[in-house]
Amino acid sequence: MVGIGSPHGNDRLGWDLSQLLAGQLPAPWAIRQARVPTDLLDWMQGCERLHLLDACPVVQEVGRVHRLEWPDARILQARTVTSHDYDVPQVLQLAERLGQLPVQVVVWAIEVDSDVDLVPIPSWMVAAACLIRNDVLLEETV
């Protein structure tokens, strides 16, 4: 379970969510925080299920959670305009070409606006963490 972002501004959403989920998932789940998507490549070895936590622009409402499973076209469309580095879709494609992509890749995209304050952690983020945890645990039992 990897939160993508940084400790700054609203970019922290992925990291905050990963911290909320720390200790809530059974072994062998591991929680990580990635500053850049290429960090993911370091953690894919031996990984069967990869879940990513990331912010996305508001379409419906702040805090709305979307579960997208690779190769959902919406993940591929979520391209950033930078060439500073590889973005999430590119890293997943790269991992696929390198034969490193886990069997299951889920992207949890949570809607957030740039002017929403994430400190202190808002109740909708706690609710999002619960939803994600419950979904993961439910899948474990199936």
Q: CB nearer to another protein: give 67 or 79.
A: 79
Cβ proximity to another protein, 48 vs 97, nearer residue:
97
- Amino acid letter, residue 17: L
Q: Which is nearer to another protein, 6 or 19 (CB)?
A: 6
Count of H-run helices and E-run strands, the chain: 5, 5
> Least Å distance between CB 93 and another protein?
5
Cβ closest to another protein, residue 77 vs residue 123: 77
Nearest approach, Cβ of residue 101 and another protein (Å): 12
Q: Provide, rounded to whole angstroms, the least separation between the CB of residue 40 and another protein.
A: 11
CA-based torsion, 20, 117, 72, 97: positive or negative: negative
For binding to another protein (CB under 8 A), which residues are involved? 6, 35-36, 38-39, 41-42, 82-86, 90, 93-94, 97-99
Q: Indicate the burial class of 75 (C-beta count within 10 angstroms; 0-12, 13-18, 19 or more).
A: buried
- Strand pairing partners for 50? 105
Identify which of residues 45 and 141 has a Cβ nearer to another protein in the complex: 45
> Taking the complex as a whole, how short is the minimal distance between the CB of residue 50 and another protein, in angstroms?
17
- Which residue, 42, 68, 71, is CA-closest to 53? 68
CB of 5 to another protein, least distance (A): 12
- DSSP assignments along 3-48, one per residue: EES-SSGGGGHHHHHHHHHTTSS-TT---EEESSGGGHHHH-TT-S
